[in-house]
């Protein structure tokens, strides 16, 4: 009995030693070398793993940075220029600085301006809603309101406004990772330049229907009247498919387009209130004071 136990222990021990030796040989035989720079660069990245850089994670992005000779087209939106400068110093490669961007919601079809015409009694998901029907309103281009964008945001930079039924971006928390834009099946979220004081001007509508149909579905829809297009001094506005679009690359934030929009579909954020100038008009013996609004 005692010998059988000893033999069993020796047999198991010999099997363990043999297996360990085999694993050691295999590990050495098939060892994959990893450049130590990859770990160094990965430590410099913010570890958000948000895929905003185009890679599935920070380690994959670090590998791409190390293995690519020209990294001027590679950029970490979360870390921004500061992190990319550290990467440049670590790798000895030139990087291109980029202006910071922020997510904007190009739909202002709140409940009071875009009435519901149907009700979907199913899973509350924008992706599912977009696949099986056009939405609970007559606008088939606007926000579906189920919060897929909010659900994917890893930085708590978005929330759903209970009053409007629309997502709201918290600019100070937004890292420009772009995950919300990818999650939106209607493509209403766009990454736009973040100017000083977060000044932005953009068309808050994506409705491509003709004016009357668009206006019936949403009272603040773009009706394709081209008034903003005609008044823009920098040719920053284009008209495509009955819809105006303001190109942030050419827009100088002059705001001349804002007051001419008959449906108030152009959104301006964080601008100071327009100044009111008093001008005296001489009408014979009577002098009247007239208020003029300065849109400049």
- Tell me: is residue 232 an annotated ligand-binding position: no
In degrees rounded to 5, what are phi and psi of residue 287? -110, 125
- Tell me: is residue 228 an annotated ligand-binding position: no
- Distances in Å between the alpha carbon of 86 and those of 44, 99, 296? 7, 17, 41
Percent of the chain with pLDDT over 90: 59
- Tell me: pLDDT of 185 over 70: yes
pLDDT of residue 296: 46
Of 31-35, 137-141, 197-201, minimum mean pLDDT range? 31-35
- Tell me: is residue 174 an annotated ligand-binding position: yes
The residue-averaged pLDDT of 212-227 equals 95
- Tell me: is residue 50 an annotated ligand-binding position: yes
In the chain, CATH 1.10.15.40 sits at 36-91
Residues 259-262: contacts with CB within 8 Å, 24+ apart? 259/293, 259/295, 260/227, 260/228, 260/231, 261/222, 261/227, 261/228, 262/223, 262/225, 262/227
- Tell me: is residue 53 an annotated ligand-binding position: yes
Q: Which of these CATH numbers, 1.20.120.420, 3.40.605.10, 3.40.50.450, 3.30.70.20, describes 101-269?
A: 3.30.70.20
In the chain, CATH 3.30.70.20 sits at 101-269
- Tell me: is residue 180 an annotated ligand-binding position: yes
Give per-residue pLDDT as tens, 26-56. Answer: 877 776 667 889 999 999 999 888 888 889 8
Give the domain 36-91 fold: 3-methyladenine DNA Glycosylase II; Chain A, domain 3 (1.10.15)
Mean pLDDT (the chain, rounded): 88
């Amino acid at each position: 009995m005692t010998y059988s136990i000893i033999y069993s222990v020796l047999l198991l021990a010999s099997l363990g030693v043999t297996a360990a030796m085999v694993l050691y040989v295999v590990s050495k035989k098939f060892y994959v070398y990893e450049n130590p720079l990859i770990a160094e660069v990965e430590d410099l990245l913010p570890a958000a793993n948000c895929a905003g850089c185009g890679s599935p994670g920070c380690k994959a992005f670090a590998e791409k940075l190390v293995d690519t000779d020209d990294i001027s087209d590679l950029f970490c939106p979360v870390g921004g220029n500061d992190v990319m400068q550290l990467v440049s110093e670590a790798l000895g490669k030139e990087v291109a600085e980029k202006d910071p961007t922020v997510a904007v919601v190009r739909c202002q079809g709140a409940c009071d301006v875009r009435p519901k015409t149907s009700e979907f009694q199913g899973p509350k998901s924008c992706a599912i809603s977009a696949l099986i029907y056009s939405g609970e309103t007559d606008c088939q281009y606007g926000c579906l309101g189920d919060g897929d964008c909010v659900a994917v945001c890893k930085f708590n930079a978005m929330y759903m406004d209970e009053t409007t039924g629309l997502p709201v971006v918290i600019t100070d928390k937004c890292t420009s990772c772009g995950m919300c834009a990818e999650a939106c099946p209607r493509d209403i979220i766009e990454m736009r330049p973040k100017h000083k004081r977060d000044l932005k001007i953009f068309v808050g509508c994506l409705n491509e229907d003709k004016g009357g149909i668009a206006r019936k579905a949403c009272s603040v829809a773009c009706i394709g009247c081209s008034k903003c297009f005609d008044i823009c001094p920098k040719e920053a506005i284009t008209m495509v498919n009955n819809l105006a679009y303001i190109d942030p690359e050419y827009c100088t934030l002059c705001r001349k387009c804002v007051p001419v929009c008959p449906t108030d579909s152009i959104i301006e954020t964080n601008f100071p209130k327009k100044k009111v100038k008093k001008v005296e008009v001489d009408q014979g013996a009577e002098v009247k004071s007239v208020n003029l609004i300065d849109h400049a």
